[in-house]
Every structure is written in C-alpha cells, then in structure tokens.
Structure 1
Amino acid sequence: MIIKNFLNINKGAYFMISLFGILSFCSCNKEKSKTENISHKEQLKNQFDQDISMAILFLDSAATDQSKLKQHLTASRTYFKKIEPVLAALDIENYGFLNQPNILKVEEDDYTDIKVKKASGYQVLEEEVYADEMNTEVIQKHLSLVANRLKLVKENISFTHVKPYHFLWLFRKAIVRIGITGTTGFDSPVLENSLEESKIVYQSLQTSLSYYQDQFKDQTLFDEWNAEIDATTKDLSGDFNAFDRYHFIKNHTHKQLVLWNKMAEDWGTTFPFELAIKNEANSLFSDATFNLTFFSDQNSGPITPEKVALGEKLFYDTNLSSANQISCATCHHPDKAFTDGLKIGKGVTRNTPTLLYAGLQKDFFYDKRAGSLEGQIVSVVENENEFHTDLETLKNVVSNDSVYANAFKEVFHRNEITDAHIRNAIASYIRSLNPFNSKFDRNINNLENSLTQSEINGFNLFHGKAKCATCHFAPLFNGTVPPDYKESEIELIAVPEQNDTINATISPDLGRYYVYKTPERKHFFKTSTVRNVSKTAPYMHNGVYNTLEEVVDFYNRGGGAGIGIDQEYQTLPPDPLNLSPQEIKDLIAFMESLEDIDTSYSETKTEKLASTTN
C-alpha cells in the first residue's frame, strides 16, 4: 500500500490525505466476502493486523523523515481511526492511552497509590506537531511512545473470545461515539478534522460488516446498512463549524440505532447482559435509553417502581433528620429542578446541584468523593449542618414507623430494616429522575416539530464552535464520558471568586484536592449537567454567576485564563471562542430548550420504569 498524494496544510486547516487503499478500502464492501473457511473474527483480526501495522509504519516514518512529519502522522492517525471501533471495544485501556487529551493524567486509587502522568498519544502529537514552534525532541519522544504502545497492542490483543454480540456492541459503540464525540472535535482539538475522521470510522465499520454478510438472514437489511453508511459518509462533509450535528443525529445516528436493533433480531442474537445503553435503545435522548442498573451500586439490587415510591416518601420525610426539620427536599426542590436557588446551599459550602439525571453517572459530589448515590447519602446523614444524625439512628427512626416497616418488608422481602435499605430506596428514587421530555428531546425524537432555528443553531454551536460538548457530553450533557459511561470527568476551568473580569481571583475552594491532597488536583470539580439550567441558577460550584449570559461570557473569554487567572493545569482551552452576540443568544436558546416538563416521579411512570429496569 503506497501513498498516492499528500496535501500540504497549515495549522487549523481542513485536510484529506488521498491514500490508495485507505479511503477506497470499502470498494468491495457491498460484495459478499469471498474468503472461504475463515471465521468472522479471523477476518476482523486480519484487517486489524494490517491496519495497525500501517499505523506503526507511518509513525516510524515520521520519526525518520521530519520533512514529511505532518503527512506521516496524518496517515498513521487515519489507520488508527480504522482500528478504533475494534480497539476501543477489545482493549479500552490502551485505546484510552492512544487517544487521551493533552492534559495531565492523575490516578487516585487511595492515599498510598496516586499516580501523576503526562499524557501521550495522537492528540498530544497533533498539538505538538502543529504548535507555533515545534519541539523536535518532545515530538520524537511521543512518536516512540505511541509506536511502542501500538506494537504492544498488536502483539497482545486477542480476538479468540469475540462472538457476534461482541461485534454488535463494538459496532453500536462506534456509532454512538461518532454521534456524540466524533463530530465535536473531542479528539482533534487543533485540526478539527473530526468529520473526515468520522468518515474513515464509518468506512471501517462498513468493511467489518461485510465480513458478517452471511450472518444476515435478510440480505435486504445488509443492503440497507450499506446504503445508510454511504449516505452518512456523504453527509459528513463541509466546514467543521457549519456542520449540522442536530440533523446528523436525528437522521443518521438514531436511524442506525433502529437498524442495529433490526440486525440484532435478524441475527437471533442473545446478549448476556446490558451495557450502559440498553440493548433495545432506538434513541440516545429517551428515558428508555439507559440501563439504570449499570450506574447503580453493585449491591443495590433491582430498581422497582415500589422501591422508587418508597424512596420518594423517604425523600420528603423530615423525621429522618435529628431536629425533624430537614428532608432531602429541603435543599432539592422539584420546582427548581431539584436545586434550591441559593448561591451556596444552606449549611454547606457549595452550590446545590440538580438531582435530575444524577443517577446516570459514576461519581458524586463536586469533588467525586463518593462512588455511589448510597455513599453520598451517608455524608448527608452525618453532616451536622444537614441531617446531623448517624446511620444507626436513621435505621431506628424508620424501623419504629409501622407504615415504613410494612413497606420495607414488601420491597426488600426482609423483616429487618437496615440503613443500607433506606439509602438504597432513596437512591432508587433519585435514579428515577430522568425525564428526557424537554422540548429538545421531543424534537430530536420526532415527537414534535417545534424547535426554532435559533435553538438548532445553538445545539450545533454547543457541539462545534463553542466546544461545550467536549466536556458536557450529550445526551446527559454532563461529564460522564460516552460511549462507555464508566468515568465522570473533573475539570479545572478556574472559576473566579467574584463575578469580576478586571481583577479576578480564583475561588479559594480547592475542590478535588481535599479528597487526596494531590497538588495537581487543586480547583478541579466534576462537570455538571447542562440539562434544566434554565431552572438551576446561580451557576458554578460557588454560585458566582446568576445568568447564563454570564456563564457563556466566562467560557467565551477562555475560562479563568481569559480573565487573568493563571492556572498551570487548566483543562479548558485558554483561547477565546469568539462567539458573536447572535451565537451567544442561540447557544443559550438551546440550553433553555433542555428544560424538562415533568421533573418528579409519579405513578404514571410505574409501567415505564418497570420496562426500563427489568
């Protein structure tokens, strides 16, 4: 395989490399594989081996031929994108290394096991190679690190366990990844070459699908897939900032989820369990999209309508606090999207976050010090400014109430009430608070056609020029990273203490640092959801901003760096976004369209909840 043509490019410009056999590799996709007596997974492995070998080859060429450094790096990344669907499914750790952002990586398992690592991978290389001044020594180091990691993957990755359902899962993950992060510039922060790279991934999926053609009972469904992928790659064109991501998800990503379910049914596939996204999901923006138990504590048990109803009663019960005056609802008001409207919550040190969609994440509190909702509730119970009690007293209060005693016996099928049961019931109620019925949800799901052009433009800005979606990932619009949803990100954006752009100083709250005292984690906070922001003012962990206009202005300036706050580890790009007044209005209009029309649990949801948790 040889290079046919290279295009010289400048930093920030769009580019394509015409590779003989790379962008034309799908020419035989629509023909049934002629390879005889080779299993599907063997064909997958053979293709993977070829592509990863080429990725390594071009990195080695980049290291030895500096005159074509950019071209070789782009060629290698093209092959990396070809292997991305398989690599991200079969070896997520090495995929994460190779595709990590160029920010310091801190791993905090406990006080005795804290690792601070500088990033490497393709994103790091992109930023280094297209820097105003290239550091040859640094580039050579990362070329070597990435090439060696690819060689390690090639030698050790295993396909022996791959079954049809594994292929279906990796296929769907790739579709979701493109729809949610692939078109946002998430992993191409400098060149913003995301659209062209998304084409490459789709073409790779098309090639992989051809290996499974004999798996289709209905060959018209196979043909339908090919036609849809052709249409999708055709639409993945144009200027990065002008790309219509709203209609791409609506017309392609969602259509492909429907096709995926048809394919799974046609193949007669039985899935051994469910991942974060339910196997039957046909939309990313629905209360039937996510598998609630995936996000739950390992020992939490099933989430039943009866348990949720019990948790709701406990949520509003002031008798659970020592003074019989405070309940969960005291600080989380349903009419304010389960916030309290205060700059700083009463008796605490930070702004009260919404509980809506809170169950669809893996870490809790602004500093991620709790790993489950049940664990978070412990802190609330024991906080002297909140419930000011303890778990044993909590258990006794509930056990001595005959109504609760009967309810717990019915729900948990045990005579004894434990504090774990109480916390689990409350947590289950919170996990039910995922309405997905905002104006935006209803429109992207074709339930109505009422979004204004301003709101659509705002969504496209959110996922494009404004770069909001590189931290606030749709459809949850929080920091839980798709498509695996195993990690909730924390960021340093350098929020000021006061609403001041002249003499700004950073908020003194050190955030994540308080958990493990890791210096590199000072001022880091969990990325909150943007859903229902029209109801959750004031904003930021310290409530410093009262309006969305103020929030957008902060980001438009480049976060803290844009108002004179210098933080070495700021994760938000410091460059101004240069949003126009109209773009700011559009962006806010979109965020306001995320306001749900029903934010509380009711009996009418019982049947829906049962169908999404069983």
Structure 2
Amino acid sequence: MKYHTTPTIRFESLVSISFYTLCFVLLFACCSGPKQVTEKTPLKTVENIYKSDLELCAAHLDSITTSDDIDKHFALAREYFKRAEPILAYVDKDNYKSLNQPNILSVEEEDLTDIKINNPFGLQVMEEQLAEEQPDTAAIKENSRLTENRVRLILHNTKLKLENHHIIWLVRESVVRVSLTGITGFDSPAALNSLLEAVTVYESLRNILSAYRQNFSNENLYNEWLTEIDRTTQALKGDFDRFDRYSFLKFRTAEQLRLINRTIKDWEVEFPFELALRNDAVSLFAPTAFNVNFFTDYRNGNTDTESKIVLGKKLFLDKRLSRSGQMSCATCHDEKLAFTDGLKTFPKQKRNTPTLLYSGMQKAFFYDNRAGSLEGQIAGVVKNKNEFHSDMALLTETVKADSAYAKSFRKIYGKRLNHTTIRNAIASYVRSLAPFDSKFDRNVNGSENTLTASEIRGFNLFSGKAKCATCHFPPLFNGTIPPEYKRTELEALAVPADKSEQPEIDPDLGRYELFKTEERKHFFKTPTVRNIAETAPYMHNGVYDSLEEVMEFYNNGGGHGLGIRLEHQTLPTDSLHLNKREIKDIIAFMRSLNDQAYERNNKKEKPQELASAK
C-alpha cells in the first residue's frame, strides 16, 4: 500500500473500436513504405499496431499541453498506453516502469558514490495530479510534456524482434500482471480505473493472438482463446470495491494459464531458459509455479536438487557452524514456530525475526534489503557478532573436518567444498520452504471447496478496497513485484516504538543506515503475509502482538494516524474506512494462508466462521 489516497475520479473509454481501427488504417496507409505495407507477417502486424498505440498516446499527451480539456486527453493517452502495455512492458521494461511509476521519489542506490534521487513523472503521477482538489494545471502540462517526450523516444527506437516464445512470454506476463497487480489498483490508485484498463489490455491481447492466428494448427484452440477473452472482459465489468477477485483468479486466470500451456504445445514452442515463473506453470498458487533457481546467485550446476536440500537442512541445524558452537540457523528460525522465534526481538538483535517460509523467492534480504540473495544473506549472518560471530573461512574448515559432510559435498558438488557451495546448500534448503498447501491455495486450485464467505470477502478486500495487495503481491504475498520478480520493495509505514497513546516513531532508521540517504529513513522490506497467524509479534520491531492491532494501524493511516509525521511515508495517510466486519474478514483471509502444518490456530474457530458464511 504505497500510495496516498486521493479523491476518486473515473475515466470511461472515449473512443470506439471502429475509431481505433480507422486511425490505424490511416496512419499506416499514409506513412508506411511499399515494403512495409506488403509485409504481412504476424510480427509486422503486431509492430504496426503497437506503434499506432504509442503514436496516439503521444498525440493525446501533446493535446494536454495545448487543450483545456485535460481530463479527456489524459483518459485517451492512458487508454492507448494500456493498449501498448503488453508489448511495451515486455520489450522495454525500464521505460514502461518510468512511464507508469507511482507518485513517490525514485531512489537508486548502487553504492555510496552513486545515489540517484529522481522526481517521478508519467501517467500514474498525472492521474494523482488530476485527482487533487485543485489540480496544478502547469505541473500537469509539464508532466505531460516529459511523458510525451519519453513515448516518442520509445517510438523512434522501436524495432520488434520477437520469436514465438517471446510472444508466449509476453502474453503470460500480461495475464499475470492483470491478475496480480492490475485489478488491485496498483497502478491506478486515484482513479481506481483498473478494471476498465484491464479490459483494454485484454483487447490488445486479442489483437496479438489474432495476428498470430496462422500459428495455430488447432483452430478450436484459437477460438477458445477468443471465447475466454470475451468471458474475461465481461467479468471485469463492475465496481472496483465489489469486484470478485477470488473468482477471477480461480476461473479466468487459471483458464488462461491452461490455454497458454496448450498454445505452447500447439505452436511447438521451445524455450531457451526459464524465467521466475516456470514455462509450464498451470497455477500461480502451486509449488511448481516458480523456478526457484531464478532467485539464486549460484551459477555452477544451478539446480536445487533434493540431495542439496537434505544437505542444506543438516547444515541449517548444525550449531558447530557458529563460533560459540551454541547457535544454528534454527536457533532463530524454529520450524515449530513457522521458522520464527516467537520473540519481539531475539537477544542482542534490534529487529524482529521474520519467517523463512517463502523467503527464498525474493530479490533482497534482511529488513533493509542489504543482501541480494539468500547466499549473501547467509554470509551476513555468519559474520554478525551477535549471531554466528564467525567468518566463512572458519565455517568452511568446520564443514571440511566432518567426513560425512565431505562425502556429501563430493557427491553433489564434485570437488567443490568451499564457502560458496556451503551457502548454496543452506540456501537450497530455505528455498524449498514454500509448500503452497494452505487452505487458500487448495481452494483457488480447486482441490477443495472449503473457504468461508468471510475468507473470500477478506481476500477481495485485501486485493481491493484495503489495498494490501499493492504491497503484498499474490501469490507470494510479499514485496517482490510480479510478473518479473526482479525487485523486492521497501516501504515506509512510520511504525511506532511502542503502543502508548502518543508514540514516537521507532528509532531504527532501516535502509538509511546503509547509504545515509535522507529519503530512505525508516524504510523496510515488505515481508510475506503467508502463515502470518503463526508469526506474531508483528512489524520490524515486534511492536504489535495481534493481527487486530496491525489492521487498526493500517486502517488509521499508519504512523500518520498516530500523530507521527514521516515525510516519505508510503502508506496512505488517511483512513482506509474499513468497518469492523471488513477487518474481521481480512484477518480470516490471512489465517487461510496458513500452510497445513500451521492450520491448528484456525481449527478452533472454524465452526463459527462456517456458520457465519451460511
């Protein structure tokens, strides 16, 4: 939840498909040379439509700077941007993010000598500017000018080079983006125009698949795609707050993933490698969805095999790896406590111990994101004087001295028994701690039908009105952003030091302590909500003991609602206006994210919840 709440505005589509088609025909009939006109390859058709969308987006951005009807031209610019999104977000990810970034400062910290702080611009920023009670017309027009220049730069440099597997990847990315961020309001926080924009994205996907119709050897499969897109666009028609996101994920997104897999076989596509999501993923809520090796920095025989996992668990439990011989990884991450320690903070530590469940599927580690992989995080623990208080050389000698370890490493890694392979083995075990067998997973995958009405309402609120899913992205429900999973977000919530009536902000400066960047004071990584019913106390300092307290904090505007004024708070500063039943429903949903091993806390409440759902 990283956006400031502002008055709601809504923009409806102001052009018809026929007008769009006419613009496309006129543009390319007049501007394209003979060779371009006669080329009828699927890719050329897609490129022409893509360029047309960018050109029309730029044209309406230009009209914003010269016209008094800013709202109209913004709506059209945004529509054409969304039409271009499936291609743009795939072929030019950085520019896509720049054009669609949130209205908060962008901070890039490479090292102490290379820190960049950029003011945001683009369509999402413009949306929030237009939603202000007294919009700053001059600022909006300047933003429009900058945005138009970037769009025209992209247009000038566009030459698509896409193979069939790229088309599959970009279609899947669009499907996943809509279902996990698009329908949550992630990039339309002020207008809440996400559902209509999702319809526009699916219309673009229809155009892409139509261009590639000749690739389908199974005509029925092509027609099934068209039928599914019709069903999806129909399902997306409705009110943002009342939209049934659970059913959309369970039926529409799941069906589209199945169609993608059938299309891969029909087109006989061969992929050169795996991305974060496995190429054959048929569900986003299954242990087979993710390519866990995408999240490692180990590149020699890069596979988390079962034998590696078994070896890693032995190392994880081994107290001899610490200098004192009294601490193992499991000392702070107890499997019986959902891989936490159940404490506000562990002795001599200043931050709460997070769960290791699902932690492997992130791109940054520790609360301040100081490590870029699990392997790097493990090195940090080893060196920390309040944890292992050792070094990798000493740890490696300890492992080498154990003949059983030496034998296992020879079998798995050949002759490589060193600090790199030791860290990789432990990390392989941690990455395996992602069972995806919660009640919610089983229901969204259709293996059972046991979710209560309260739990379903809670998920829909979590992903809609409450805006929780704009920071805790399904299916991992952490801060690693889908569909690429290349960046793990930090947020500033202004967490209090205690629960007094007039609290001060917690003195821990978080990310700031790494680079001393003022704009990063009190920023912390977004952890997973999976198994959250088992991981109290909450927040980076363990200040809250219950989910009810956490929800009250969020509902009242974070630290701002407690009187704490943090300049760069990313949580909406005004109330979410959730009533008591809505809060109860959200908590019920979060409890449904307990994996089977940790469902005991739910069982005693189950009869009451089921009764309320009838």
Is contact 1:331–1:346 with CA below 8 Å preserved after alignment? no
Deviation at 1:505, TM superposition (A): 1.2
Unaligned runs of 5+ in 2: 1-5, 25-36, 599-614
Q: The residue matched to 2:127 in structure 1 has which SS? A: helix
Aligned ranges 1:217-232 → 2 under 5 Å? 217-232=217-232
Deviation at 1:346, TM superposition (A): 2.6
Structure 1 residue 52 corresponds to structure 2 residue 57: no
Aligned ranges 1:369-388 → 2 under 5 Å? 369-388=370-389
Aligned to 1:538: 537
Q: The residue matched to 2:150 in structure 1 has which SS? A: helix
Distance (Å, rounded) in 1 between the aligned partners of 2:203 and 2:21:
8
Aligned to 1:171: 171
Output the amino acid matched with 1:475: P
Aligned to 1:515: 514
Aligned to 1:591: 590
Deviation at 1:36, TM superposition (A): 6.5
Cα displacement string for residues 313-363 of structure 1 (whole angstroms, at most 9, x for unaligned residues) = 010111111221110000001111100000012332100001011110110
Deviation at 1:393, TM superposition (A): 1.0
Moved more, 440-449 or 370-379: 370-379
Distance (Å, rounded) in 2 between the aligned partners of 1:52 and 1:420:
46
Cα displacement string for residues 160-187 of structure 1 (whole angstroms, at most 9, x for unaligned residues) = x211111110000000000001101111
Distance (Å, rounded) in 2 between the aligned partners of 1:249 and 1:329:
35
Deviation at 1:16, TM superposition (A): 1.2
Q: The residue matched to 1:484 in structure 2 has which SS? A: coil
Cα displacement string for residues 74-113 of structure 1 (whole angstroms, at most 9, x for unaligned residues) = 0110000000000000000100000100001000011111
Aligned to 2:364: 363
Distance (Å, rounded) in 2 between the aligned partners of 1:275 and 1:452:
35
Aligned to 1:570: 569
Is contact 2:298–2:424 with CA below 8 Å preserved after alignment? no
Indicate the percent of aligned positions where both proteins have the same amino acid.
51
Deviation at 1:514, TM superposition (A): 0.7
Q: The residue matched to 1:314 in structure 2 has which SS? A: helix
Distance (Å, rounded) in 2 between the aligned partners of 1:345 and 1:370:
20
Aligned to 1:282: 282
Cα displacement string for residues 440-483 of structure 1 (whole angstroms, at most 9, x for unaligned residues) = 00000001000000000000000000000000000000000000
Distance (Å, rounded) in 1 between the aligned partners of 2:449 and 2:211:
39
Output the amino acid matched with 2:408: A
Distance (Å, rounded) in 2 between the aligned partners of 1:413 and 1:25:
61
Distance (Å, rounded) in 2 between the aligned partners of 1:559 and 1:384:
33
Distance (Å, rounded) in 2 between the aligned partners of 1:248 and 1:25:
29
Cα displacement string for residues 228-251 of structure 1 (whole angstroms, at most 9, x for unaligned residues) = 000100010111000000000101
Q: The residue matched to 1:594 in structure 2 has which SS? A: coil
Aligned to 2:608: none
Distance (Å, rounded) in 2 between the aligned partners of 1:384 and 1:277:
37
Structure 1 residue 504 corresponds to structure 2 residue 503: yes
Deviation at 1:504, TM superposition (A): 2.1
Aligned ranges 1:386-535 → 2 under 5 Å? 386-414=387-415, 417-500=417-500, 502-535=501-534
Structure 1 residue 76 corresponds to structure 2 residue 77: yes
Deviation at 1:254, TM superposition (A): 0.7
Is contact 2:315–2:426 with CA below 8 Å preserved after alignment? yes
Structure 1 residue 63 corresponds to structure 2 residue 50: no
Q: The residue matched to 1:183 in structure 2 has which SS? A: helix
Moved more, 568-577 or 225-234: 568-577
Deviation at 1:279, TM superposition (A): 0.5
Structure 1 residue 108 corresponds to structure 2 residue 109: yes
Deviation at 1:298, TM superposition (A): 4.1
Change (3 A) 1:212 1:548: same
Distance (Å, rounded) in 1 between the aligned partners of 2:421 and 2:471:
34
Change (3 A) 1:385 1:23: farther
Aligned to 1:258: 258
Structure 1 residue 19 corresponds to structure 2 residue 21: no
Distance (Å, rounded) in 1 between the aligned partners of 2:253 and 2:402:
50
Output the amino acid matched with 1:39: T
Is contact 1:91–1:157 with CA below 8 Å preserved after alignment? no
Distance (Å, rounded) in 1 between the aligned partners of 2:224 and 2:292:
32
Cα displacement string for residues 103-151 of structure 1 (whole angstroms, at most 9, x for unaligned residues) = 0100001111100011111110001112111112211110101000000
Cα displacement string for residues 415-456 of structure 1 (whole angstroms, at most 9, x for unaligned residues) = x52111111110110011111000000000001000000000
Unaligned runs of 5+ in 1: 1-9, 29-34, 600-614
Output the amino acid matched with 1:54: L
Q: The residue matched to 1:545 in structure 2 has which SS? A: coil
Is contact 1:331–1:352 with CA below 8 Å preserved after alignment? yes
Aligned ranges 1:7-406 → 2 under 5 Å? 12-21=8-17, 37-66=39-68, 68-159=69-160, 161-299=161-299, 301-406=302-407
Is contact 1:90–1:157 with CA below 8 Å preserved after alignment? no
Output the amino acid matched with 1:530: V
Aligned to 1:604: none
Distance (Å, rounded) in 1 between the aligned partners of 2:524 and 2:256:
35
Question: Would you identify which runs of 4 or more consecutive aligned residues in structure 1 move more than 3 Å?
Answer: 22-26
Aligned to 1:608: none
TM-score by length of 2: 0.92
Distance (Å, rounded) in 1 between the aligned partners of 2:178 and 2:549:
31
Distance (Å, rounded) in 2 between the aligned partners of 1:563 and 1:155:
50
Aligned to 2:603: none
Is contact 1:455–1:590 with CA below 8 Å preserved after alignment? yes
Deviation at 1:598, TM superposition (A): 3.9
Distance (Å, rounded) in 2 between the aligned partners of 1:476 and 1:363:
14
Deviation at 1:386, TM superposition (A): 1.2
Deviation at 1:43, TM superposition (A): 0.6
Change (3 A) 1:25 1:203: farther
Distance (Å, rounded) in 1 between the aligned partners of 2:499 and 2:338:
24
Deviation at 1:22, TM superposition (A): 7.0
Is contact 1:62–1:73 with CA below 8 Å preserved after alignment? yes
Q: The residue matched to 2:487 in structure 1 has which SS? A: coil
Is contact 2:60–2:74 with CA below 8 Å preserved after alignment? yes
Aligned to 1:610: none
Q: The residue matched to 1:19 in structure 2 has which SS? A: coil
Distance (Å, rounded) in 1 between the aligned partners of 2:452 and 2:83:
37
Is contact 1:435–1:598 with CA below 8 Å preserved after alignment? no
Distance (Å, rounded) in 2 between the aligned partners of 1:43 and 1:298:
41
Deviation at 1:11, TM superposition (A): 5.1
Cα displacement string for residues 508-562 of structure 1 (whole angstroms, at most 9, x for unaligned residues) = 0000001111111000000010000000000000000000000000000011111
Output the amino acid matched with 1:43: T
Cα displacement string for residues 365-407 of structure 1 (whole angstroms, at most 9, x for unaligned residues) = 0000011111111111111211111111111111111111111
Q: The residue matched to 2:184 in structure 1 has which SS? A: coil
Distance (Å, rounded) in 2 between the aligned partners of 1:504 and 1:138:
36
Output the amino acid matched with 1:468: C
